[in-house]
Structure 1
Amino acid sequence: MTRLIRSLATAPHTPRTSLNYPDVGATAADRLPAGYHHLHHTVRIGRGRDAFETAGAAVTTWRMHRSSGARVRGRAVRAEPGAFVEVSLGLGPVRFAAPCEVIWTAYDEDRTGFAYGTLARHPESGEESFVVDLHPDGSVWFTVTAFSRPAAWYTRLGGPLVPYLQHAYARHLGRTLRRIVEG
């Protein structure tokens, strides 16, 4: 946790005027802010240092997102605080673009991952983290933690369907990451 907080405090961020929510960095804390839908999905994806390092690299270099079928646009080769990334989902020309800024990163001995926050024009307002942990027993776990609320007319119209789709996508990312780890 210390490294996560340090990443928040010392990150070379661009001005955060375009983030569309006030609770920046909350996914690094134990408690998510009230007034949002909360998502927490954890899945075991492998075992051992090699699995951990493969999964951590896939998460922080956008490989996991791309392998899941998402399009990723941004200049950063890997997640670093302040980096812009746009993830889009959909079929063919019907895609929903989600512009984000990386808020914090973790590149530690037993934890690797990052969180990004939503920018203006994102259909939701909030933050999402993607973290790989190596436990003392050698098991490797992937966790998606998020808080969000609708920021566009179509996500407000989607009502309870949107959190369901977010949970489904988190499960899909876990399966995708497990496949990457298994080679």
Structure 2
Amino acid sequence: MRRGTFREGTVDYAAVGASHAPDLMQYPPERSLPAEESWRIGSGEDRFRTAGEALLSWTAQRAAGLALEDVRPAAGPTYAGVSFDHEGNAIAPSRREQEQRYDAEGTPYAGPGMTLKVRGRVKGLKADGELRVISVTEEPRRIGFVLGTMGGSSVVSGEEAFDVDWREDNDEVWFTVRAFDSPNRPMYRVLPALVKRRRRELFARYLRAISPLYATPI
């Protein structure tokens, strides 16, 4: 199990990690639009592992019509902190390095500190941007990562958090995406509905990609 976080970077927003804040939907970062969606995608360990592998190997982004370019793992080792149980107790020792994995095409799996460029359009709206992987989580019942925008390269600034959870109480597997977007371009500032439209379509594509056969919206 591992939980990694980048050391330093050039993200273009202040509230790093806020996509995992419990009150994101009620109190989003200033001038940002929050969003959250969650789907049940099956049950059991096999479904959890399969969805987690798909997530970390960029299946959601590619299936959303986004081309990945210039994917670069972080330079040098990254720190992987301890994992915690629901009461906040440490359950695994930290490791100083994480082994980089690659998919069949040679693209690195998501790793903390990694940078990449994405290009594409969503419902006619531009979705290009430079991104940094803020953190990666691989635990016995949770797999996920957080992406943050860099350098004002996108039409919005903010974060996306992707998580696959295997619940102990009922064996169900859920895929959740949470995000907050702050418009960068004048058109999006004047018409925030465009930001919401872009986000809704991205969420729908992400969710269909991770479980095209089993997903059931709540």
TM-score (norm 2): 0.71
Question: Structure 2 matches for 1:37-116, cutoff 5 A?
Answer: 37-73=33-69, 74-76=71-73, 77-90=108-121, 96-116=127-147
Q: Deviations over 1:124-162 (max 9, x none)?
A: 111111111111222111100011110123432442121
Corresponding residue to 1:34 among 24, 29, 35: 29
**Cα gap change, 1:45/1:57 in structure 2, threshold over 3 Å: closer, same or farther?**
same
What's 1:147 paired with? Answer: 180
Deviation at 1:180, TM superposition (A): 7.3
Q: Is the 8 A contact 1:54 1:181 kept in 2?
A: no
Matched, 1:130 2:126: no
Aligned to 1:164: 197
Q: Give the Å deviation of 1:28.
A: 2.8
Q: Normalization by structure 1: what TM-score?
A: 0.83
Change (3 A) 1:105 1:180: farther
Name structure 1 gaps, 5 residues minimum: none
Deviation of residue 56 (structure 1)?
0.7
Q: 1:113 to 1:98 in 2, by over 3 A?
A: same
**Seq. identity, %:** 30
Distance 1:155 1:167 in 2: 15
Which stretches in structure 2 are left out of the alignment for 5+ residues? 74-107
State the secondary structure of the residue aligned to 1:79. Answer: coil
Partner secondary structure for residue 69 of structure 1:
coil
Displacement of 1:103: 0.5
Shift, 1:85, TM fit? 1.9
- How many corresponding residue pairs? 171
Distance 1:181 1:86 in 2: 30
Kindly report the root-mean-square deviation, in angstroms, between the aligned alpha carbons of the 2 structures.
Answer: 2.2
- Measured against aligned partners, the alpha-carbon deviations of 1:37-66 in whole angstroms (never above 9, x if no partner) come to 000100111221111111111111112211
Report the Cα distance in structure 2 between the residues aligned to 1:108 and 1:181, rounded to whole angstroms: 23
Tell me, in whole angstroms, the C-alpha distance in 2 between the residues paired with 1:95 and 1:124.
10
- 2:126/2:155 contact within 8 Å kept: no
SS in 1 for 2:19: helix
Q: 8 Å contact 2:118–2:129 — kept in the other structure?
A: yes
Cα distance in structure 1, aligned partners of 2:11 and 2:205 = 26
Instruction: Give the structure with the larger helix fraction.
Output: 1
C-alpha distance in 1, partners of 2:52/2:63?
14
Provide the secondary structure at the position in 2 that maps to 1:179: coil
